[in-house]
Structure 1
Amino acid sequence: MRGPLLVVPFAVSLALAAPVFAAPVFATPLFAAPGEQPVPVLNGDFVEPAMKGDGPTTVGIDNWTGANQRYSATASGRSDGSNAVGLQKDGNTLQQRLRGVRAGARVTVSYEDSPAVSKECLPAEVADGQPYTVEASGGAVQAVTTAGDPGRVKGTPGSGRWAQRTYSFTASENEPLLTFTSKVANSKTHITCSPMVARIRAVEVPPAVDQTVDRTSLGTSEAFKGNDKEKWLHNALAACNGENACEFRPDARTSFRYYGQSRVIGEAFVNCTRNTLEHSRVLSFAERSHDSIAQTYTDAGQSLEEVARLPTSGDRTEDEKRVKSRPMATQFALAYEKAWKRPWQWFSSDQRTVVERIQPGEVSWVELQPTRERVEGWFVSKKDDYRVHAVVDGPSRAVPDRLLQRTGPMSVAEKQRCSAARPMTMTPVGAEAPAWSADKGVTGPAAPTAAGVRRIG
């Protein structure tokens, strides 16, 4: 249970309240994103799995999609220890999704290329360089030709003519797909005589975080397996159905805390009297969490998977059960606490006694401005590289809520209500006659005096 910040000037107006809201720190990301930062290119030196010999070998390369020829650093003429990959012939690709990159990011990929070092190459096939393309989700297809390697002799391996290259694009989707494609079209060219790439790296300038997105519309969650985008979330969520099946990896760059929009809690008290009124009342208020996975299923008109039912239903009893029984809830909470050094809370509630002093002709009410926190990241399967993107928005422990105790002038409608006559009825008999009796000194009900009336009691 967290204590709210109680702002209690008795004549609060927007102008008077301005200093309270002046500090903008809670409307900014928890960690300000730098201008340019590295993007993890997995196995960018092509060292996994470990090579036996110098190659070329056709083997699946860890974290990459595509059947390509791999050469050791020695065989490819490199001194930095990074292996190289030949792209094979026309249409063959080498692909990887860039993990953690968000749609709208400006990404620059750097790498090196060389004509083939294969001893199977004819001199004419490498003399003027070899063609390929590089592209990524949201970027143009960039045609490239490697440096030439004149003077080669068939049967003698080349030593590599390595050149630095860059490719820039703006991502049109989350985790954009980077693709290298061979354009060696001569059917007579040996499969090993193809352009080569090595030492792939990337940096990005992340997009600005849109903090205006409402917590009830957190966006569509999506799932991937390796470099393939899943059509639906089902399989990826099922992979997380176990205490340690997945880990949640929060992205501090896009996570932030903020004050939510103010709302009135309790009633508005209108003082229609000529005197100052003073009284106390008890205020109760509560906050719940929201998540993008549940919203994605709702938007699609589908029933939410049991494993993905995080404690975000808004039903306190149900959410308390989910905290204890849902592995993904535990995975998220553990990752959050590890990253921010405080526990996550899925829901909160509190109660406060407020004393009000209301001047004649004024109205008194109390507003709540809750502090909340939005965490974005990925549930990642430890076994088979399933990844589910998720955004969770919940009450924050980082800073207190704001309770604003306010008074102000009555509205036109309230003034009309205060000037209205009180409920009345007519006196059909004796409206102008003096009062007929005084109940003076009577300690109990007066006995009936009319003849024939039976006394009760």
Structure 2
Amino acid sequence: MRSPARSPSRARSAPSGEVTAGVDAKAKGEFSTPDKSKGPTATVGAEAGASGSGKIAGSLGVKGAFEGAFKLAYQRTWTTEQIEKTTYNTTVRPGDALVFGASSAMQRIAGEITTGSGLGIRKVVVDGPSTVNTSTFVADTFTVPGNTCERLRPEGKTGTEDTTAPAPPGGLTAASLPEGSRFKDRDVLTPTRPDRPPNVVENAMESRPRPVGAARTLVRTAPVIGLSLCLGLVVGPTAEASVAVPPARAAAPVTVTVLNGDFAQPAFTGVNTSANPYAWSVGSTSGTGTTGGVWRWNAATGGHPGGLIAAMLRLPTEATHGLKQRLRGVRRGAQVTVTYDESPSVSNSCTAAALEKGQTYTVQGEGGSLTNQTTLPTTEKLPSNYWKPAWRTGVALTFTAAANEPLLTFASTVPAAQNASGNCGPLITNVRATQEPPPVDKTIPAGSLPTSEAFYGNDRRTAADAVAYCNGAANRCTFTAEDDYSFSYYAPARVAAETYFNCTRNTLNRTRPVSTANRSYGDLPAASGLPGSGTGTPTNMAQQYTQGTGLNPAWTTTQTHNVNEIVQPAEASWIETQASRQRTEGWFDATTKATDPNYDWRLHTVIDHPSTNLSDRLYQRTGPLTASEKQRCQSDRPNAPTPVGAITPAGAER
């Protein structure tokens, strides 16, 4: 295989004219297989451009695009594009898989723009196709294990779900193949470009004997432009078994953000305030809830050893005076540990009898049991006429979350005779939390995704309400994916179209089209545009999803492949497909945060769509006939008796 001759640097003509514009750059890869017998054709390209108004003369490279876009102002759109192609022939032996990858050659120009009058723009970066390096195609041949291609076709059953970790954003990524595949051969193909001499490669990539090892061949993370093709000849049934290994929990607890856990906001002056703390709701979770539902004492009067402000639980009615907050980022099934500090009241409204045995309250995490607590007692009154606190630090509560963003609730249980009409209750502060997140569940079918959930501060709202907010403007919300719970995977295998039986005594050759279709799943209202229809302008939320994930999926895909079948006598031929999928779980959050988080929107959703970084799998299968199929092949052809002239020569009667 010869590499193309390198062309010397070419002189560029000087541009002329004026322009105001932006620049853009993109890479692309295409893979088409119109006829398997003639081999695949692959194209990889890169493009950079500048758009604006004016006219410009001359030839521009990437550097010219950079200069032209910011120094000139011309009356049209100007784009430079580089296309590279290579054609190669392949021979795929039975039981082999063929995987393709491509790496685009790019060039990055960075610099500053100055006007000569003191104005300028710094840190401007433009990516475009390289004029020096050549892009590369990689074609790898693998031998797939027998339990992949040498099985009887399924009869009324689906394949086992096969999950694959998502590809990293750059560098190297493992080729996606069935477990147990063994590497056989690699061919590196250098494509040609219009500005270089032709380079057509004829490469007979047969499955020739080579030393084999564990399959860990790597291909460049560029567009995955191939499909895995498996040709199998079955000599007998193979036992199939799978072992489910439950994933382990996180090795160390993960910190949970408790908003305003020290009750410092909003700030206040004086000894105490009845203004409810930000991010917490009192009684109802709608907004701040009951006005003046708690009191807050300053650090000096509250006497916390860490100098923190303390919140006093007032009345023993959880529905109207319970202090509540949802624990952001905690998932259903997580093991949550909440710690906080407690003390009896310091209020001068308290009596000695109300404090001498401590004060009672309850604490509960959604999904856990209601826990009764009693503070330490206090009997000393300070010269300021306030009671001396008795802080107990590091009080812990552990529970298993029964919902996403479970509600944490503190409520006084001091009886009416001792709470001084809500002016004498226990103090809490320094609320913190950790969680042991649940393992990701990859067994949930795409058609049974978890229901989307919406919150307005601590209050549950409908998904339609949150969609109406986020969809109201282009940047109203920001989407953030939960990487630990988002993944690429392969859907269960299914038989495509019909099964072909060869009941003759001869080998049969035929060409059949195989069509595959992939759709997207989600439960958000149609107004969100997620999943999208694939036509028309994307909605604001669809654009927020793309910006947050870097994915621009084709929400619905359809592909047709022509497959050549060679069916031996007394064998069946069928095609199995496995669709490549991407499942993304994450949050839409209000981009501009409210001063009080009680008035921020959040929407949790799960979207499942065709993968953008994996190719679909197409398995070409042959195998022996079952007992019932053999009986069908041995049956007489459809016939009927001839009532008159059964032995008369043909044509004797008209």
TM-score range, shorter chain: 0.7 to 0.9
AA of the residue aligned to 2:280: W
Distance 2:324 2:236 in 1: 56
TM alignment of 1:122-161, pairs within 5 A = 122-153=351-382, 155-158=384-387, 160-161=389-390
Q: 1:328 maps to which residue?
A: 541
Q: Secondary structure at the match of 1:239?
A: helix
Is 1:234 matched up with 2:464?
A: yes
1:43 aligns with 2:267: no
What are structure 1's unaligned runs of at least 5 residues? 294-304, 313-318, 437-457
1:210 and 1:140, CA in 2 relative to 1: closer, same or farther beyond 3 A? Answer: same
Tell me: CA distance 1:272–1:171, structure 2 relative to 1, closer, same or farther (3 Å).
Answer: same
d(CA) in 2 for partners of 1:15, 1:415: 16
Alignment partner, residue 88 of structure 1: 314
Q: In the alignment, what sits opposite 2:478?
A: 247
> Which residue is equivalent to 1:443?
none
Residue 285 of structure 1 aligns to a residue whose secondary structure is strand
**Does residue 99 of structure 1 match 2:328?**
yes
- CA distance in structure 2 between the aligned counterparts of 1:268 and 1:434, rounded to whole angstroms: 37
Describe the superposition over 1:211-256 as per-residue Cα deviations: whole angstroms up to 9, x where unpaired. Answer: 22221121333322211223x3332221122322222232233333
8 Å CA contact retained: 2:302, 2:310 = yes
Stretch of structure 1 that moved more, 370-379 or 382-391: 382-391
Distance 2:418 2:624 in 1: 90
Distance 2:296 2:362 in 1: 18
Q: What SS does the corresponding residue of 2:325 show, helix, strand or coil? A: strand
Shift of 1:387: 2.5
Residue in structure 2 matching 1:290, options 521, 545, 549:
521
Q: 1:369 — aligned with what?
A: 578
**Which runs of 5 or more residues in structure 2 are unaligned?**
1-29, 31-223, 283-292, 593-598
Q: Which residue of 2 aligns with 1:265?
A: 496
Contact 2:351/2:418 (<8 A) preserved? no
When residues 395 and 387 of structure 1 are mapped into structure 2, their CA distance, relative to the original with a 3 A threshold, is same
Q: Name the CA distance, whole Å, in 2 between partners of 1:17 and 1:395.
A: 31
Structure 2 CA distance, aligned partners of 1:81 and 1:279?
83
Instruction: Tell me if structure 2 keeps the 8 A contact 1:284–1:349.
Output: yes
Q: Secondary structure at the match of 1:333?
A: helix
Q: Does 1:181 align with 2:406?
A: no
Match 2:233 to one of 8, 11, 26: 11
How far off is 1:136 after superposition? 2.1
Question: Structure 1 residues 75, 347: CA separation in 2 closer, same or farther (over 3 Å shift)?
Answer: farther
Does the CA contact (< 8 Å) of 2:249 and 2:438 recur in 1?
Answer: no
1:68 and 2:294 are equivalent in the alignment: yes
Q: Specify whether residues 343 and 363 from structure 1 end up closer, same or farther in structure 2 by C-alpha distance, changes over 3 A only.
A: same
Match of 2:273 among 46, 57, 71: 57
Structure 1 residue 167 displacement after superposition? 0.9
SS in 1 for 2:405: coil
Moved more, 160-169 or 150-159: 150-159
Q: What is the CA–CA distance in structure 1 between the aligned matches of 2:316 and 2:649, rounded to whole Å? A: 114
2:367 aligned with 1:109: no
Give the share of equivalent positions with the same residue, in percent.
Answer: 37
SS of aligned partner of 1:60? coil
Aligned-residue offset at 1:171: 2.0
SS across alignment from 1:75: helix
Tell me, in whole angstroms, the C-alpha distance in 2 between the residues paired with 1:146 and 1:131.
Answer: 7
Give CA deviations for 1:174-214 in whole Å, capped at 9, x if unaligned.
22111100122245644443211111111122333332222
Which position in structure 2 is the counterpart of 1:399? Answer: 614
Aligned to 1:448: none
Counterparts in 2 of 1:33 and 1:257: CA distance versus 1, 3 Å: farther
Deviations 1:420-451 (A, max 9, x none): 44567869889665999xxxxxxxxxxxxxxx
Per-residue Cα deviation, 1:364-383 (whole angstroms, up to 9, x for no partner): 11101122222222323346
2:440 to 180, 205, 209: 209
CA separation in 2, counterparts of 1:171 and 1:13?
52
- Does the 8 A contact of 2:380 with 2:387 survive in 1? no
Letter in 2 for 1:363: A
C-alpha root-mean-square deviation of aligned residues, in Å? Answer: 3.4
Task: Give yes or no for the alignment of 1:77 onto 2:303.
Answer: yes
- The alpha carbon displacement at 1:398 in A equals 3.7
Instruction: Give, in angstroms, the shift of residue 74 of structure 1.
Output: 3.6
* Higher RCO structure (Cα 8 Å, ≥6 apart): 1
Are residues 375 and 14 of structure 1, via their aligned partners in 2, closer, same or farther at CA, if it must alter by over 3 Å? farther
Measure the CA separation in 2 of the matches of 1:14 and 1:82.
74
